[in-house]
Amino acid sequence: MKRMVGNKNGRAERGAILFLCILLVVLLGALALSFSAVVQKNSGSGRFFNNLGALRRYAETGLALSIHEIGYGVNGGDGQIGTELWVAANDVGRDGLAATFDEGEGNGIPTPGEPNVFGSPVGPAQMGMSLCVHAWDTEWPNVTRIVATAFNSESIANVEIYTHEEPRPVPDLAAAYVDPGTQIKFGGNLKIDGNDYMPDGTAGTAPAVYGISTAIGDPAGSNALDLISQVEKKYYDQVLGKAGAPSIGEVAPVDASGLFDEFKARKTQEVSPGNYTDIQWGNWTKNDFRVTYASGDITLAGTASGAGVLIVDGTLTLTGKTDFVGVIIARGDVKLSGSGNEVKVYGSLIASDSNELSFRATGSPVIRYSSWALAQAFRLLRGRPEVVCWDYF
């Protein structure tokens, strides 16, 4: 009887041990599965955060590139990367369709997938990352908003900044500024007007300046008198502005040659000497202001137009129906001529190191002072914008 009880107890003990072993295996398996799930989750989270961190770094790099473009006039100085053609009407979200209320729709910034948003590849190819940047003027003077977006198939990062820049002071220019000693020759129906105008011909808001100005003489007034003596009385009423007609006076010296060199360092395009007909070097109605450098004598004819700054290392001849908005600086003679059509310059014409400023026109060319046009032109000399606000989203 004792032996039978011992056998039963032994079998019970072995069963309990087996059960405990099975339970332990199950528990170990559950722990392994749980650990694997945690590892996978942590791995996925780590990959996400690595992606996001890398994308944010490239977005920040995009902001730096945009600031560089704006501050130094690179690639037109607009600060756009892959969003040059994006407009508010394109703000339809990642699916590219309006009224679907998907991610990015109506958020006011270019989003990957929207029309006219083209990402530029960045980073290691295996990460498949792209970058786009957009810059806007704001309602605050000289403050620009810039948003950079870096993205790939797994994530997207946006970095936003606001920058402020001190505007470049505009020198004391007239409708036409000439270095002392320049010879002026009048003829035809030319009008040089120092009253302020907008480029569409409407009145501006700035006070009138001289029609023609030059540097202060020694004694004061002598340089202006030299210019006035070259203008026949019958042309007096064709030089308008402050101080009556002819509106010719002296201002603090303008370093025309220095301005020429500064703008040349920021040139956005260079043209060879020659005759140009029906060209367009910028368009003020489209906020397209350029610095065009001509390396020698040029003639503009036909319906030639431009906006921004035109600097000419030689003689400049304007004829036909040439229309320019901004600043023209010529290191040589300046000649306006025509045969019935109008040459129109809104801004300021500067004759630097010139021997002759020749106005001989059978048409009706006009040079009109425009403080607005000058402000746009001198913005092309602006310095590096300073960041005043930074945000991630």
Q: Compute the C-alpha angle 74/78/80, nearest 5°.
A: 100
Taking residue 34's Cβ as centre, other Cβ atoms within 10 Å add up to 10
Pick from 108, 55, 101, 59: nearest CA to 86? 108
User: Rounded to an integer, what distance in angstroms lies between the CA atom of residue 388 and that of residue 393?
Assistant: 17
Pick from 307, 355, 348, 347: nearest CA to 331? 355
User: Rounded to an integer, what distance in angstroms lies between the CA atom of residue 110 and that of residue 106?
Assistant: 10
User: Rounded to an integer, what distance in angstroms lies between the CA atom of residue 385 and that of residue 137?
Assistant: 12
Q: What is the pLDDT of residue 69?
A: 85
Q: What is the pLDDT of residue 333?
A: 83
Q: Can you give the pLDDT of all 393 residues of the chain as single tens digits? A: 445 555 666 666 776 777 677 777 777 766 766 665 554 554 545 565 578 889 999 999 999 999 988 877 666 678 999 999 999 999 999 999 999 999 999 999 999 999 999 999 999 999 899 999 999 989 988 899 999 999 998 889 999 999 998 777 899 899 999 988 888 887 778 889 999 999 999 999 999 999 999 999 999 999 999 999 988 899 899 999 999 899 999 999 999 889 999 999 889 899 999 999 999 999 999 889 999 999 999 999 989 999 999 999 999 998 888 899 999 999 888 888 765 457 899 999 998 776 666 666 556 788 999 999 999 999 888 777 889 888 887
Q: What is the pLDDT of residue 10?
A: 64
Q: Which residue has the tokens 């605050």?
A: 140
Q: What is the pLDDT of residue 1?
A: 46
Q: What is the pLDDT of residue 157?
A: 94
362: left (phi over 0), alpha (psi -120 to 50) or beta: alpha
CB of 375 closer than 8 Å to CB of 149: no
Start-to-end CA distance of the chain, whole Å, equals 82
Q: What is the pLDDT of residue 165?
A: 84
Dihedral sign for Cα atoms in the order 256, 257, 261, 267? positive
The residues, ordered by sequence, that sit 6+ positions from 260 with a Cβ below 8 Å of its Cβ are: 311, 329, 331, 352
User: Rounded to an integer, what distance in angstroms lies between the CA atom of residue 353 and that of residue 261?
Assistant: 13
